[in-house]
Amino acid sequence: MSDTVESVIVAIDGPSGTGKSSTSKAVAAKLGLSYLDTGAQYRAITWWMITNGVDVADADAVASAAGKPAILSGTDPSHPTITVDGLDASGPIRTQDVTSKVSAVSAVPEVRERITELQRTIAASAVQGIVVEGRDIGTTVLPDADLKIFLTASPEARAARRSGELKGADVHTTREALIKRDAADSSRKTSPLAKADDAVEVDTTDLTLQQVIECVVTLIEEKRADT
């Protein structure tokens, strides 16, 4: 198997707990591609709103502030970074407060427009190609991506993984939170969580992370061979 792949844009979508981030980073590192966690960008703008006293329940207020924060994403899969107004936000954006409010902020059209433009710019500038993971990459952000993959898993498997990441979190509570987040993301009017018609669906419920990584690498190599 080749350790490098010529420029290719890969969109990996799916709900939380399917192994999206771990898979995307590992695949990008293995194939010498850039990597972009689009969810981190939405978390970053949410964190900025909270920090700056914007009422995230007020869509008009969020819309008015959407263009203010300077968000910069590093695309090295071995060390992805994100800064907001020059400050390292990689830790703060993972707090429960941000997690509970990111769906509301992400649903505001002006926020999605701002972040989508940012994502497209990053993808276009990735000379060696890029793996972009999120919820609307294949459908909205990069509809012309060379390969689109949609990861799924049972709510139980996703909750078990996510509660393990959160260390000590109750699995049942985590499962309910994931289902609520899915409903919010899937039903929003602007760029909802959805599988692109031409995406390859991979159910990760009974697969190890390594198996998922190998599956995605194979799909990318097959795509390159066909072009």
CA dist., res. 19 & res. 215, Å (int): 12
**Alpha helix locations (H) across 54-170?**
59-65, 96-106, 109-124, 155-165
Tokens of 119: 């994502």
* Nearest-angstrom CA–CA distance, 188 and 12: 20
Look at residue 165 in the predicted model and tell me its pLDDT.
65
Neighbours of 195 (CB within 10 A): 17
Residues sharing a CB contact under 8 Å with residue 22, sequence separation 6 or more, in sequence order: 209
Instruction: State both tokens at 46.
Output: 């949410």
Q: Are 13 and 139 in contact (CB under 8 A)?
A: yes
CB-based contact 38:132 (threshold 8 Å): yes
Question: pTM score > 0.85 for this model?
Answer: yes
Task: Identify which of 103, 93, 188 has the alpha carbon closest to the alpha carbon of residue 139.
Answer: 188
Judge contact between 93 and 43, C-beta under 8 A: yes
Distance, in Å, from the CA atom of 204 to the CA atom of 199, rounded to the nearest integer, reads: 15
H and E: helices and strands count for the chain: 8, 8
Per-residue pLDDT of the chain (227 residues; tens, 9 = 90+): 344 556 899 999 998 889 999 999 999 999 999 999 999 999 999 999 999 999 999 999 999 999 999 999 999 999 999 999 999 999 999 999 999 999 899 999 999 999 999 999 999 999 999 999 999 999 999 999 999 999 999 988 888 887 666 656 677 787 888 878 777 777 777 777 789 999 999 999 999 999 999 999 999 999 888 86
